[in-house]
Amino acid sequence: MATSLRYPGKVVIVTGGTSGIGLAIVREFVHEGSKVVFCSPESDAEKGQEIQRELQASGCPGDACYQVCDVRNESEIKKLICVTIERYGCLDCLVNNAGSSWGKTIDDTTAQDFRDLMELNAMSCFLASKYALPYLRGTKGNIINVASLVSVIGKRKRFPYAATKGAVTAMTKALAIDESHYRVRVNSISPGHIWTPLGEKLVNQSPNPEATKQEIRDNQLLGRYGTPEEVASAALYLAADGTFCTGLNLVVSGGAEVGFGKKSEGEPKPKQRAGGNSKGFSSKQ
């Protein structure tokens, strides 16, 4: 049975592992024989412990261990790595998945908004990679960063998110060059529209959620949302099978970026100055 498993006995860390894509990655690797340490903030600790118990009782060939970790906190990242090494003795793969998204234009984004999102989406990848690499070099392991299709093609009213995920794809390529000396592979995955709890939350915040969902479906060549399990399969491929892949950004998008589509919303209407006419416009027009 063990010979049919795709990543047996390998030790894997997955950040943001209690929901959506992260949880699907945890399940995929455990089912393929890996020993997975996954984390979330303390607010999700009860859920994380429940997932650990479920996987350990399921008869899966791998193992799962939950750890509380705020990925923005350097000392907690260090502890996450230490817990993994103490429990399993080595590290073969780091999946930097933790992150968040919200829709804002640059006008609506404060400096603190930008710093906060950069810290969660990009700084966390830096910190986890920095402290995992001494162990990954020893096993000639690999890093998988979860970025976004938005980092490749941009998206309306996603300026801060696109910037932070663009940093992730850029870090991936630069780190792949440096770490090739140690035979450590570094790749990223850029999912398109994947139906996750976070995606559902963002859709439900729109004025017409059903129309928004249909519009998103229509934007994919495959005519549907992707699933977290499909992204998890891509992560397993990069860890277990893509042994000649490094510096790669694997797009998992259903073809959302392929072909022409509606881009323009028309000319923006000029903003009228309060209390009087602006040059070239009459308040009676």
Q: Which of 28, 1, 58 is nearest to 240 (CA)?
A: 28
Longest dimension (CA), the chain: 79
SS3 state at 41: coil
**Looking at 28-131, which runs of residues are DSSP E strands?**
35-40, 63-68, 93-96
Bridge-based pairing state of the strands 93-96 and 11-14: parallel
150 in Cβ contact with 158 (< 8 Å): yes
Q: Which of 131, 143, 30 is nearest to 95 (CA)?
A: 143
Cα Rg of the chain, angstroms: 21
- Annotated active-site residue 161? The verdict is yes
Amino acid at 284: K
Q: Of these residues, 161, 182, 225, 237, which one is catalytic? A: 161
d(CA 190, CA 18): 19
d(CA 137, CA 125): 17
Q: Annotated active-site positions, please?
A: 161
